[in-house]
A and B are shown apart, each in its own frame.
Chain A
Amino acid sequence: MAEAAATAGAGGSGTRSGSKQSTNPADNYHLARRRTLQVVVSSLLTEAGFESAEKASVETLTEMLQSYISEIGRSAKSYCEHTARTQPTLSDIVVTLVEMGFNVDTLPAYAKRSQRMVITAPEFPDPHTYIKTPTYREPVSDYQVLREKAASQRRDVERALTRFMAKTGETQSLFKDDVSTFPLIAARPFTIPYLTALLPSELEMQQMEETDSSEQDEQTDTENLALHISMEDSGAEKENTSVLQQNPSLSGSRNGEENIIDNPYLRPVKKPKIRRKKSLS
């Protein structure tokens, strides 16, 4: 199958590339990309069970694929730049895909599918054709300087940020005659004050993940356990809207454990009896 697709792709693009041999490198690049995409489309079609396809339809699909990928690229670039980076990261792509309505979770399974075809793409050129090796000064590795730098950088960022916030929002001041030197962002009451006070900020959560992965594992373990608990009886009470947060995707796991726990708050809510005494004598 792979061979058939490859030949189809090669055959399809062969004529084109032949005719425009003499154009400039940009066009060449464009054509090469186009050809690769056609190979991909063809192989996908083969994978889907088609034995042959009209050229026009292949072209259309290629066009669609190309614009989809371009959109991913464009959008990822925006996300990347939005966070003041130049190098896109995986998360940029993930966010982009999510944004475009693609269910990212299905991707790993799709990548591992059995009928996946290996496309024999042309070899990459020698790495040095596209790797740039500029010369740097010796990077500063002195601990003291680094700490110093990190500290002042953070301080500058915090200062700039808070000043910006203070400038754009309401402020309070300690001095009546001068409101700009020590601007305090005005105190704003929260509707639910305990939430911000008690829940760790996202930053802290992130730090936690970075610093100690082993504990994190432990935590997810207990989390799972608790989820199982709250899952108890989920089958029986499906028709009842229970207060419990049910996560149906997890209900299948570890049945044995669930059955042991019998807590009245997890029991299903009963429906009222039809003949119930309701009058007040």
Chain B
Amino acid sequence: MPLTGVETARMNRKKGDKGFESCYSLSLQGFVELTIFPTVANLNRIKLNSKQCRIYRVRINDLEAAFIYNDPTLEVCHSESKQRNLNYFSNAYAAAVSAVDPDAGNGELCIKVPSELWKHVDELKVLKIHINFSLDQPKGGLHFVVPSVEGSMAERGAHVFSCGYQNSTRFWFPCVDSYSELCTWKLEFTVDAAMVAVSNGDLVETVYTHDMRKKTFHYMLTIPTAASNISLAIGPFEILVDPYMHEVTHFCLPQLLPLLKHTTSYLHEVFEFYEEILTCRYPYSCFKTVFIDEAYVEVAAYASMSIFSTNLLHSAMIIDETPLTRRCLAQSLAQQFFGCFISRMSWSDEWVLKGISGYIYGLWMKKTFGVNEYRHWIKEELDRIVAYELKTGGVLLHPIFGGGKEKDNPASHLHFSIKHPHTLSWEYYTMFQCKAHLVMRLIENRISMEFMLQVFNKLLSLASTASSQKFQSHMWSQMLVSTSGFLKSISNVSGKDIQPLIKQWVDQSGVVKFYGSFAFNRKRNVLELEIKQDYTSPGTQKYVGPLKVTVQELDGSFNHTLQIEENSLKHDIPCHSKSRRNKKKKIPLMNGEEVDMDLSAMDADSPLLWIRIDPDMSVLRKVEFEQADFMWQYQLRYERDVVAQQESILALEKFPTPASRLALTDILEQEQCFYRVRMSACFCLAKIANSMVSTWTGPPAMKSLFTRMFCCKSCPNIVKTNNFMSFQSYFLQKTMPVAMALLRDVHNLCPKEVLTFILDLIKYNDNRKNKFSDNYYRAEMIDALANSVTPAVSVNNEVRTLDNLNPDVRLILEEITRFLNMEKLLPSYRHTITVSCLRAIRVLQKNGHVPSDPALFKSYAEYGHFVDIRIAALEAVVDYTKVDRSYEELQWLLNMIQDDPVPYVRHKILNMLTKNPPFTKNMESPLCNEALVDQLWKLMNSGTSHDWRLRCGAVDLYFTLFGLSRPSCLPLPELGLVLNLKEKKAVLNPTIIPEAVAINQEAANNPSSHPQLVGFQNPFSSSQDEEEIDMDTVHDSQAFISHHLNMLERPSTPGLSKYRPASSRSALIPQHSTGCDSTPTTKPQWSLELARKGTGKEQSPLEMGMHPVASAPLSVFTKESTASKHSDHHHHHHHEHKKKKKKHKHKHKHKHKHDSKEKDKEPFTFSSPASGRSIRSPSLSD
């Protein structure tokens, strides 16, 4: 990165008068001051990141500086291009993102250092950059929540907060938006007097403005922090100082204070835990938690503050949400240490931070919720990552982009580039985090927890030493973690070589798939174990190394470590016990316990009770192991490890026998057994009961059990009044009816008895004496009702009316109606009941009992409903779209993706459409037409430029619907076929290649590709604008930007036209930011206030900033003049080619092929060797 400096952001925001109900103008005015220490001479251009901001004026050391604003990610592919192929898009998108990647020294905003200062720069003197900017109704990065009720902004609970995925700070102020550029901060926010501005660092003071209507919050963050970790939340917050830790402050929206008190009352224990295990104090001097509405993600951690969703707040009456919220709190706090305080060197080091924070969060889980919960969680996470990798083909933790050869592209199986966080699919990123902490656990297994914690402590103490250093910013690099640095401290601390482990799981993607089976050789008293691997399917890899196998014999449990090698499949394991010599003896288990077992079920010849492969989950694997049903049953009953129990439950589904039934029932009844195991036993029992429906004796499965456990002694059909004091039985009580509803009789209908039973549970439900709310319980009862629904018997597709309604369904509908209506009068916590009712109605629709109609869901999906309800309703609409193939509903959803005010909902719709697509690439569907392709293309190409996550979501959807190549519903391009015939190639649309190559080549031809990027990434390169820009006048660069902004039809443009004609400097300072031109008389809601950085005494800690790696990349600026010529030249070249494309296609292609091969190695490898970093281009050709 060329620039490091002390960045001082000043945001001034205030609110205007009320009475602005119809037209909110949400904007902010700000100014940023960066102090930059040049590390090379000849620095004459400075690149910063900025998106959405309207920049009025840039001054360097009080001299006006010219600047160019160019954001290639606004429109990834040229709008006139008819390319509709995802491969092409992904490459272009990756290139666009790299072109503004701050880690590569790029940025959207290019500032030219005035020539007067060149001498100054050559002496390596400090530069101070002032940028005045405004932000008008931002679509991303900063989210305004303004409820439309009467009253002042504060009374309405209006608030705003920063949000985004990865480094997204550039959306709300110009900065070097990288996690690796550290500087100290002084932040000032001027807000309405009724508001509180919460930001990073210490609140130094709060001062009224002169009119006493506003306050300015002064924050100081002396710990060097990356711009990406800067955040802001402003609102009429209620303030709660943590009663245990006075330096911790909690904020919530009005009226929620009692909930906040309860929710945060636990936080101090999390603090204590982390500080104890890390033997390190919390690095910042204060900590703030802010709970806001319409959150982007549930938890977002920034330097010394975390932003949470307000929906995590709960009262003492809520059982289910409590552990979830505590987990969120703990997660965010773990990220404070690793992620905020310690930042990452580059994107490929992200896994270390996510891994460590996830790992220590896991330790907290173990301590708080117990070993069972922890192991269960690990197993769950392992299953998730295994399933994802097998589905998509692998998650790579540490991508290295050094090789340069196309075949080395680490993510060729994916439809997006993993080179950059902003191109990643959200799902991939969540899985990435999951894998990271699992791998960290593997490292712990290898080097022991003690060493692991020592490593963390070392990282933290180095960082905190560095953070207190003032002037030598090269020390600050200690605050950045890199993969190599991390591995080095591991080997220093532990003395162990973990390279093979890293190579296996970090440098390489894929998981291991084991198939195991065994035979017992009675003569040799040997267990012959065969372990096969599948390493050819996508997402798998070959495992070579030790593998632990645990064999439970009659004489005890024995661990064996097998060496998995290339060719050896069979392993002989000697058994210790002679089969069944002394029957009466108790059998010792792994944990030393000795138990009596009924051994009559087992094979008389074999001493084996059960066998487990990799019991400690020390390989990221999936194991399919074959053993006899009785062995699984023994394992379920007697193995004390919850993971083993869960595995055996899963396996027993395939053995529907009375013995399995008995084993499961026993587990269900066992109070000491882990509740989650018992819960999954319920579902397994239901499946088994269905498989053996013809031979099943007695009442429906679980009914008598439930009666015994939860119903009154005197009247077994009536459930006891609720008492949820024992959470274990609460969860069981909740789950059992849901599982029971899955039972089916010989006609594949839910038995009448079960339905009556569930209806009775609902009827007799009595929560008056309960300390806890029963909303989750009632919601699950509705889920149970929905589960009991079976497809309607339909005669000739008759229309569904009330008259032909099945009487059972009528009863169900009666309950749902009542519940749903009662929710309007007495809403439940998080509206869990409404959510369940909506789902149940969709189930009824889908099964043909109720006419399929999305109108109800659409009304619940509207903005203004609680987010959980909206998501549930949208899910139903998505499902309807798929089942009924409704174009209208699909359009409605797509409109919502573009227009909904809540980013999370937009993201979620895309996500749900991807998970439950209306059609897929291999499917014929009336929905699949050219207009839809164009619409989606536009969405991902330009419609989602304000939100990385959303754009990646759109890419995912496009991939699911149309695949990587050109969508099949599009007509073939005119000349494409001719060319194909000549070339005899199966390329459907050859036009792709010339264009992609053209871009690549253009990039390649500029060795110092830096300035050239302006040309190539410009979405309007067909227009002649940029060649004509005269960079030397302030006036023109302003005009240039305005022009481009206008062309882009950005939301904030209306006001811009006012400034365009401004030719004198003074006129460039805007008087107002009027968000809405139609109401010129009204005052702006958030308007301008220019502030000036105090150059006085207090800024001493801010004045330093340098970066060790900064020197090298800067040199690229020096070649600017020549390079820009190149760029111009090639630009023309490219342009011409396009025109001639039709005629010269053939020749053209060859030429480019040649070019691209030659230049393949060059593009983007421009960063100088001294920097130690190199940036690869994504695979643009081939």
Name A residues whose Cβ lies closer than 8 Å to a Cβ of B.
143-144, 147-148, 150-152, 155, 158-159, 161-162, 165-166, 172, 174-178, 181-201, 203-204, 207-208, 210-212, 215, 219, 222-223, 225-226, 229-230, 241, 243-245, 260-267, 269-272, 277-281
* B1069, closest chain A residue (CB): A280
Residue contacts A-B, CB under 8 angstroms, 21 given: A151-B763, A151-B766, A158-B818, A162-B822, A174-B856, A184-B820, A184-B856, A187-B856, A187-B859, A189-B864, A199-B259, A207-B768, A211-B769, A223-B261, A229-B243, A243-B194, A263-B249, A269-B206, A278-B1092, A279-B1092, A280-B1092
Instruction: Report the nearest B residue to A159, measured CB to CB.
Output: B818
What is the minimal beta-carbon distance from B819 to any residue of chain A, in angstroms? 9
Q: Is B862 an interface residue (CB 8 A)?
A: yes
Q: Are B261 and A222 touching (Cβ within 8 A)?
A: yes
Does A175 lie within 8 Å of B801, measured CB to CB?
Answer: yes
Tell me, yes or no, whether B310 is within 8 Å of chain A by CB. Answer: yes
Cα distance A203–B767 when bound, in Å?
11
CA A140 to CA B830, docked complex, whole Å:
39
Between A165, A187, A243, the greatest number of chain B beta carbons within 10 A of the residue's beta carbon is seen for A187
CB atoms of A264 and B824 under 8 A apart: no
Q: Which A residues are CB-close (under 8 A) to B801? A: 175, 177-178
Q: Does B246 contact A (CB under 8 A)?
A: yes
**A265 touches which of B147, B207, B249, B253 (Cβ 8 Å):** B249
Q: Are B802 and A177 in contact, CB atoms less than 8 angstroms apart?
A: yes
Q: Does the CB pair B771–A215 fall under 8 Å?
A: yes
Q: How far is the CB of A174 from chain B (nearest CB, A)?
A: 5
Contacts of A158 in B (CB 8 A): 818, 822
Within 8 A of A (CB), among B1094-1111: 1094
Q: Hey, which chain A residues are within 8 Å of B240, CB to CB?
A: 226, 229-230
Interface pairs A-B: 9 shortest CB-CB: A189-B864, A162-B821, A264-B203, A144-B715, A197-B866, A193-B866, A178-B802, A191-B149, A182-B817
Is B789 in the interface zone, CB < 8 Å from A? no
Report how far A278 CA is from B818 CA in the complex, Å: 63
Would you call B246 and A263 a contact (CB within 8 A)? yes
Chain A nearest CB, measured from B850 CB (Å): 5
- CB-based nearest B residue for A230: B239
B1076 at the interface (CB under 8 A from A): no
Interface check B208, CB cutoff 8 A: yes
Smallest beta-carbon distance B1→chain A, Å:
28
Residues of A within 8 A of B265 (CB): 222
Q: B718 and A265: CB pair below 8 A?
A: no
Distance A172 CA – B820 CA, assembled complex (angstroms) = 11
Interface string of B844-870 (1 = CB under 8 A from A): 100000110101100110111111100
Q: Is the CB of B20 closer than 8 A to any CB of chain A?
A: no
Chain B: CB-nearest residue to A261: B246
Known contacts A184-B820, A193-B865; is A147 also within 8 Å of B715 by CB? yes
Task: Give the complex CA separation of A119 and B253 in angstroms.
Answer: 54
- Give Cα A150–Cα B1091 distance, bound, in whole angstroms: 67
- Beta-carbon nearest neighbor of B855 in chain A: A172
Residue B71 interfacial (CB < 8 Å)? no
| A144 & B714 in contact (Cβ 8 Å cutoff) | yes
- Main DSSP-derived SS at the B contact region: loop
Q: Bound complex: CA of A207 vs CA of B766, how far in Å?
A: 12
B838 nearest in chain A by CB position? A187
User: A147's closest neighbor in chain B, by CB?
Assistant: B718
- Chain B residue contacts of A191, Cβ below 8 A: 147-149, 156, 864
Q: Which residues of B contact A (CB under 8 A)?
A: 62, 147-149, 156-157, 193-196, 202-210, 212, 215, 236-241, 243, 246-247, 249, 253, 255-256, 258-259, 261, 265, 286, 293, 310-311, 313-317, 712, 714-715, 718, 763-764, 766-771, 773, 800-802, 813-814, 817-818, 820-822, 824-827, 829-831, 841, 844, 850-851, 853, 855-856, 859-860, 862-868, 1090-1092, 1094
New A-B contacts (17) at CB < 8 Å, excluding given A196-B827, A222-B261: A143-B714, A165-B824, A177-B801, A193-B864, A196-B866, A198-B313, A211-B771, A215-B771, A223-B258, A243-B196, A263-B247, A263-B249, A264-B206, A265-B241, A266-B239, A269-B207, A269-B215
A204 to B215, CA, bound (A): 39
Q: For residue B718, which residues in chain A have a CB less than 8 angstroms away from its CB?
A: 144, 147-148
CA separation between A172 and B770, bound complex, in Å? Answer: 33
B contact residues around A201 at 8 Å (CB): 826-827
Q: Are A270 and B206 in contact (CB under 8 A)?
A: yes
With A191-B864, A279-B1092 as known contacts, state yes or no: A174 contacts B826, CB within 8 Å: no
CA separation between A243 and B254, bound complex, in Å?
11
Q: How far is the CB of B849 from chain A (nearest CB, A)?
A: 9
The chain A residue with its CB closest to the CB of B209 is A272
A78 to B509 Cα, complex, angstroms:
76
Across the interface, name the chain B residue whose C-beta is closest to A183.
B817
Partner among B246, B253, B822 whose Cβ is within 8 Å of the Cβ of A194: B253
What residues of B have a CB within 8 angstroms of the CB of A175 in the complex?
A: 800-802, 850-851
**Residue in chain A with minimal CB distance to B856:** A172
**Chain B residues within an 8 Å CB radius of A208:** 316-317, 771
Q: Which residue of B lies closest to A208 (CB)?
A: B317
Question: Could you tell me the distance between the alpha carbons of A191 and B149 in the complex, rounded to whole angstroms?
Answer: 7
Task: Note all chain A residues with C-beta closer than 8 A to B241.
Answer: 226, 229-230, 261, 263, 265-266
B256 partner, pick from A147, A193, A199, A226, beta carbons under 8 A: A199
Q: Do A198 and B817 have beta carbons less than 8 Å apart?
A: no
Whether B850 pairs with A207 at a CB distance below 8 angstroms is: no
Contact A182 B310, CB 8 Å, known A191-B148, A199-B256, A223-B261: no
Q: How far is the CA of A278 from the CA of B236 in the complex (A)?
A: 27
Bound together, the chains give a CA A276 to CA B1043 distance in angstroms of 38
| Contact assessment for A192 and B763 in the assembled complex, using a CB-CB cutoff below 8 Å | no
Give Cα A175 to B316, complex, Å.
40
Q: What is the CA–CA distance of A186 and B265 in the complex, to the nearest angstrom?
A: 38
Q: How far is the CA of A110 from the CA of B1025 in the complex (A)?
A: 86
Contact B860 A193 (CB under 8 A): no
